[in-house]
Every structure is written in structure tokens, then in C-alpha cells.
Homo-oligomer: A and B are copies of this chain.
């Protein structure tokens, strides 16, 4: 499917510009469309601040080994995963050099699956029970997951040394610590963000001193350049973007959009596109549309009002910017890499589910 050339078509009469008019036999709607220039920009940009292993890209944001291969080609060969399925898929794709499952796993069957993966896998642990079960399943590498202020997984920083000792006593290699300051990703003011990240990471550094090992892992797209306290950053959203991260002062571009088609034009002034809640992650609210207002989304539809001067036609293609990338991508079977009018590659979203 690579380098599939579309039929040429004039689109000057249409409101969305030439990039949004793919024939349905090439890309049926609704579909996630990734502009290659924006993707390349994002990879190049993050590599300036975080070259090589300073970035441990988080695959949960894009769930596609095809995109992970592009990051590996840019020198980022260590990866972060959120699910056992992601670890298995990355290993199968030949990307198992150093996979951090930055999440707790207690289920014995999932631990057995994890231990059976042909890759170097490191598991996050925040409890004694977790260590006992991981050891029993044959997991060899751990990091101690530390509570740095986000109400989610992670042990008390003062407990990290004890867990590390327990892990080593059980014969496991304790590679260090991780702590995700997710509650600070959306601090809009940069100076405030820097200050709060420093405070949060001071907890991680306390734990790191007690634990030892080479890894001090944390961070995300929102703090990729302000979290200077870790030695690797677990960012993922930078790659494709969403409207929430676009509100920050970051140098990344919106690279993925939801392409859909106009199904209905109501004389009262609204239009209806053929994609809705089942094609979007909605926890951060409605998607955005560059050429007008999104009134609301329902299961299979988005109701829109075009801006003044924008005219829409039935079956016209438009593109919506998702509000939250990760749960949007997880709703789709594939993305399409495009270069303007040219469709370059189908990107299977092969790391979905559990």
C-alpha cells in the first residue's frame, strides 16, 4: 500500500484546501490522516532536546509499530509501554531492545505473557506483592514506580529503597526509578511549570538515591524540556499532537487529524459530518475544526457550523483536530500517512487492546 498515488483532482473550489480530498477508494472516512511533513518536524524537533536514549517514546500515544520504527530510525531505540499487549507487539516488530512497561502488572497470566516476550523488558513495581508475583513469573528487570504527586500508581518515595532491596533479594535487576508528573503536563505558565516539576522530581530523586540503578525515568510531552531532573523522558503525544497539548508553548505540530465527510446540510445553518464519539476520545471535550465551530458530537456524527465565508458541499471532506490523542488513536484500526494529496502508507494501529 506504500506510495499509492491518488487520482489528481482540483480542489480549489472547496473550503478545506487540497489536502483533505482523498477519494474514498483510497481512504474511506472516517479515517485518521497523518501529514508526513508534520510528523517529520515533530521527530526532528524533539531530537534536538532529547537525542537518542534521552527520549524513551511512549507507544501508548500512537499504538503503531510502524511509527515506532520511524522513531527508532531517528535514534530512539528504547520505548515505554502501558500494556502487555504493547510490549508483545513491539517485541514482535523487532523493537524489543529495551522496553519499559511503565505500569503495574499483578495478574499472573499477564506476568507469564510478559516473561515469555523475546525482548529486554523492565516492569514498573510499586508494592511488595508486585515484586513477589513478578519474581514468581520470571520477570528479571524492575524499576520502582514512585508517587510524585499524581494520584495514580507509585509508592511513597520513602518506601522505594525497601522495595528495591526486596527486588534484589528476589534475584531481580533493579534498574532504577520512574515517576510520572502527569498532573503538571498542562501547567500553562512556563516558569510555574518549571518550579512545580522541580518540586515533583525532588521526590523522585529522593527515591533514586535510595534505589540506585541507572534509570531515572519520567516526564511527558508537556514537560519534555522542563523536566531536566530525569535522565530519560517518556513522551508520546509530541509525535502526533492534540488540541490540549496545542494550548501549551511547545514547538510541535498537529500531525494527525480525523478526516470525515459531510452527510447533511441543514437550511437552519448546521452541517453534519460522518464521525463522532466512536472515532474520538472525548474526555478532553469536542474536537476542533479550523473552518468553523463544532456544536456537538454524537455516536456517528459531528454537528458543525461553518465560519462566515466557508461553504460546504455534501460529501465534502473535512478534518477535525482531536482533543485527546491517545484514546482517539485507540478507536481506530489504522492511520494513513500522507504527503498532501499523495497517500504514502497505511499505518496499522497494531498495539490496541490488552
Q: Is the interface of A mostly helix, strand, loop or mixed?
A: loop
* Known contacts A110-B24, A277-B327, A330-B331; is-contact A295 B103 (Cβ 8 Å): no
Which residues of the other chain, B, contact A137 by a CB distance below 8 angstroms?
A: none
Task: List residues 259-307 of chain A with CB under 8 A from any CB of chain B.
Answer: 261-268, 270, 272, 274, 277-278, 281-283, 295-301, 303
Known contacts A264-B126, A272-B152, A314-B129; A25/B109 CB under 8 A: yes
A109-B303 in contact (CB<8A): no
Q: Which of B274, B281, B296 contacts A277 (CB 8 A)?
A: B281
Contact between chains at A151 and B295 (CB < 8 Å): yes
Are A326 and B110 in contact, CB atoms less than 8 angstroms apart?
A: no
Q: Does A156 contact B (CB under 8 A)?
A: yes
Measured CB to CB, the nearest residue on chain B to A285 is B283
> Which residues of chain B are within 8 angstroms of A211 by Cβ–Cβ distance?
none
Copies in the complex: 2
When C-beta atoms are compared, the residue in chain B nearest to A270 turns out to be B151
Contact A60 B272 (CB under 8 A): no
CB of A106 within 8 Å of the partner chain: yes
In the assembled complex, A225 has its CB within 8 A of some CB on chain B: no
Set B25, B127, B314: member contacting A106, Cβ < 8 A: B314
CB of B298 within 8 A of CB of A152, answer: yes
Is the Cβ of B282 less than 8 Å from the Cβ of A156? no
Q: Which residues of A, 108-153, contact B by the 8 Å Cβ criterion?
A: 108-110, 126-127, 129-130, 147, 151-153
Chain A interface residue bracket vs B: 35 or more
Set of chain B residues within 8 Å of A156, measured between Cβ atoms: 267
Q: Which residues of B contact A265 (CB under 8 A)?
A: 127
Residues 179-216 of A, flagged 1 when their CB comes within 8 A of B and 0 if not, give 00010000000000000000000000000000000000
Please tell me if A335 contacts chain B, counting CB pairs below 8 Å. Answer: no
A57 within 8 A of B: no
A153, B301: Cβ atoms under 8 Å?
yes
Q: Is the CB of B266 within 8 A of A110?
A: no
Choose one: B108, B129, B282, B315; the contact of A282 (CB below 8 Å).
B282
Interface residue? A231 (CB, 8 A) = no
* A83 touches B (CB below 8 Å): yes
- Is A28 in the interface zone, CB < 8 Å from B? yes
A interface residues, Cβ below 8 angstroms from B: 24-25, 28-30, 60, 82-83, 103-110, 126-127, 129-130, 147, 151-154, 156, 182, 261-268, 270, 272, 274, 277-278, 281-283, 295-301, 303, 314-315, 324, 326-327, 330-331, 333, 353-354
Could you list 9 A-B pairs, sorted by A, with CB under 8 Å? A28-B109, A103-B300, A106-B263, A151-B270, A151-B303, A153-B264, A154-B266, A283-B297, A333-B353
